[in-house]
């Protein structure tokens, strides 16, 4: 199996290398690197990853400018064909601005940038990203964001919950997110946006000071999903 993942870099992305390192560590294959100005993605992708950072300096709104960049037209088209898309932190913000995921990420309720490892409950174990976790697993993943306060209207939140599209939930209030939502899935389950950084939590437990290894299963799940498909 030759796993093919692409990591998109926008001007101001700063977790793109971490994402590429995580993907290579888990898959044994180097991730393909794509620039925001590219019009096309590489062919036959098994995953597209939108990394964290501060694309375009967070001008206008976090993720708003990146969502209009040429590569995002290709990402939207690929997502519509069913290629799995993972957006982490700023990548999540870009996915909501591109309307691949519902809702929006507001300024943290406490106004402060939050940088620490938090506990998440895995709420969906059926998606290609979360199939390796067990129902109700609690995992520890670092967050580092200023605009991570998930907002959607009550009707949308009810729909997300009813359709099992809340992938991860904070086990305690972190940033003011509606219903403590930390990650959401698209209707077909193949697009995941999450504020916490699984790519920062792929090292064995001996390195728990670096975030632990609970994020590793997310990448292993994607790989296993490709092997089955």
Partner 1 sequence: MQVRVLVRLKPGVLDPQGRAVHHALEGMGFSGVEDVRVGRLIELDVADDTDHAALTAMCEKLLANTVIESFTIETPGAL
Residues marked active site are found at: 89, 197, 199
111 binds partner 1 (CB under 8 A): yes
Q: What angle do CA 136, 19, 30 make, to 5 degrees?
A: 120
Query: Could you say which of 110, 115, 135, 188 contacts partner 1 (CB under 8 A)?
Result: 110
149 binds partner 1 (CB under 8 A): yes
CA max distance for the chain: 46
Q: Shortest Cβ distance from residue 156 to partner 1 (Å)?
A: 9
112 φ/ψ angles, rounded to the nearest 5 degrees: -95, 150
Question: How many residues bind partner 1, per CB under 8 A?
Answer: 19
Q: Which residue has the tokens 């106004």?
A: 111
127 φ/ψ angles, rounded to the nearest 5 degrees: -80, 160
6 φ/ψ angles, rounded to the nearest 5 degrees: -115, 135
Positive or negative, the CA dihedral 191, 102, 147, 214 is negative
209 binds partner 1 (CB under 8 A): no
76 binds partner 1 (CB under 8 A): no
Q: Which is nearer to partner 1, 96 or 117 (CB)?
A: 96
Query: Could you say which of 72, 85, 100, 152 contacts partner 1 (CB under 8 A)?
Result: 152
Contacts with partner 1 by CB under 8 A lie at 60-61, 64, 68, 96-97, 102-104, 106-111, 149, 151-152, 176
């Amino acid at each position: 199996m030759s796993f093919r993942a692409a990591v998109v870099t926008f001007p101001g992305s700063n977790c793109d290398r971490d994402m590429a390192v995580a993907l290579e560590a888990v898959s044994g294959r180097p991730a393909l690197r794509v620039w925001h100005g590219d019009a096309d993605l590489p062919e036959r992708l098994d995953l597209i990853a939108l990394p964290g950072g501060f694309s375009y300096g967070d001008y206008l709104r976090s993720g708003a400018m990146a969502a209009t960049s040429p590569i995002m037209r290709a990402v939207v088209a690929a997502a519509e064909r069913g290629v799995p898309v993972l957006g982490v932190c700023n990548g999540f913000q870009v996915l909501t601005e591109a309307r691949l995921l519902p809702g929006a990420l507001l300024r943290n309720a406490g106004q402060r940038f939050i940088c620490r490892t938090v506990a998440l409950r895995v709420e969906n174990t059926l998606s290609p990203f979360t199939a390796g976790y067990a129902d109700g697993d609690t995992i520890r993943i670092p967050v580092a964001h200023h605009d991570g306060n998930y907002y959607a209207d009550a009707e949308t939140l009810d729909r997300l919950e009813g359709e099992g599209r809340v992938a991860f939930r904070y086990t305690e209030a972190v940033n003011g997110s509606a219903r403590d939502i930390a990650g959401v899935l698209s209707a077909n389950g193949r697009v995941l946006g999450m504020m916490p950084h699984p790519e920062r939590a792929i090292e064995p437990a001996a390195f728990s000071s670096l975030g632990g290894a609970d994020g590793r299963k997310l990448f292993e799940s994607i790989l296993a999903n490709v092997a089955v498909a």
